Amino acid sequence: MFITIEDDFDLEKIKMSGQCFRVKEQKDGWYRFITGDDVLYIRKDTDTSYEVSCDEMTFRNVWHPYFDFDRNYEAIRQSVQTDSEYILEAMKAGKGIRVLRQDPWETLITFILSQRKSIPAIANNVETIARLGGHLIETDRESLFSFPTPREFMRIEMGMLKAAGVGYRLPYICDARDKVISGEIDLIAMEELSDEGLFDTLKTIYGVGNKIANCVCLYAYGRIARVPIDTWIRKVINNTCEGRNPFPGFGDVAGVIQQYVFYTEQMRKRGMWMIEIEDSASCRASAEADAGDIEEPAG
């Protein structure tokens, strides 16, 4: 089936955006996405046409919300008012990224795992955990495993989780699992909470601090005003913006701007984004908060 996408949409940039860890680039321009038991293979055909492996109903019910297609990202970029040369360049570099609406349970656990790990290491951990506890999914292209549900996690031996690289995060994962199974944390009902209520509830889970709570708010619940502050974003605030946090100035779309900035820094690390912003005065002019407002990473 072919679909038309006229808004910002770049499969490679989404894969590299640091918000999801199971996207795989395959042969001939195909990309594989997984959410729950649903697997999508998608590739670009023309500027606005994409070939997808699912039927129309599945795309509408599963993948349309997953890719946040009810939100116009071109309009977000055009609405941003800033004098920051760096932010303007980051928006250009990151054009095509969308904030995915991922499964809340998987997002919670994968970002607990993400503490003090590189993206490749996180991806390896997630795939290992899927093989240990998830159930088999067969497609016409491959066999793979779902991310384990909370109850499937119960069946994974603690020693196997430790061997999978979970390390000191194991008690955090167990607390999240137990709270979800008991109903103390209701990941579905939490959709109805305000941004602050959602954030505060997530932080009742052992090991979940500001950064992880904001990641879950942003990447699972679509709360695009939330800004996770990780090592890369902190470097931008401390170095490019001379210690002043520009993100509060972007209000309800601050989380989208954060995605552009994170992607830009990943590309700069790989030597793929060569523009150097030497004058940070424009970044400072956009700042609305000082370094004292920067969130500490969880863990």
pLDDT digits (tens, 9 = 90+) for 214-262: 999 999 999 999 999 998 899 999 998 888 899 999 999 999 999 999 9
pLDDT digits (tens, 9 = 90+) for 36-70: 999 999 999 999 999 999 999 999 999 999 999 99
pLDDT over 60 (residue 201): yes
pLDDT of res. 165? 82
pTM, to two decimals: 0.89
pLDDT digits (tens, 9 = 90+) for 100-131: 999 999 999 999 998 878 888 899 999 999 99
Judge whether 101 and 3 are in contact, CB under 8 Å.
no
Question: What's the CA gap between 153 and 177, in Å, rounded?
Answer: 7
Kindly report the number of other CB atoms within 10 A of residue 154's CB atom: 13
pLDDT over 90 (residue 33): yes
Provide the residue ranges of all domains of the chain, joining segments of one domain with +.
2-71, 104-221
pLDDT digits (tens, 9 = 90+) for 149-167: 999 999 998 889 888 888 8
Give percent of the chain with pLDDT exceeding 90: 78
Q: How confident is the model at residue 268 (pLDDT cuts 50, 70, 90)?
A: confident
For domain 104-221, give the CATH superfamily: Hypothetical protein; domain 2 (1.10.340.30)
Judge whether 144 and 34 are in contact, CB under 8 Å.
yes
The CATH number, out of the four listed (3.40.50.2300, 3.30.70.20, 3.30.310.260, 3.90.1150.10), of the domain defined by the range 2-71 = 3.30.310.260
DSSP 245: B
The phi, psi pair for 98, rounded to 5°, reads -125, 150
Q: How confident is the model at residue 272 (pLDDT cuts 50, 70, 90)?
A: low
Tally: H helices and E strands in the chain: 15, 7
Question: What's the CA gap between 278 and 281, in Å, rounded?
Answer: 9
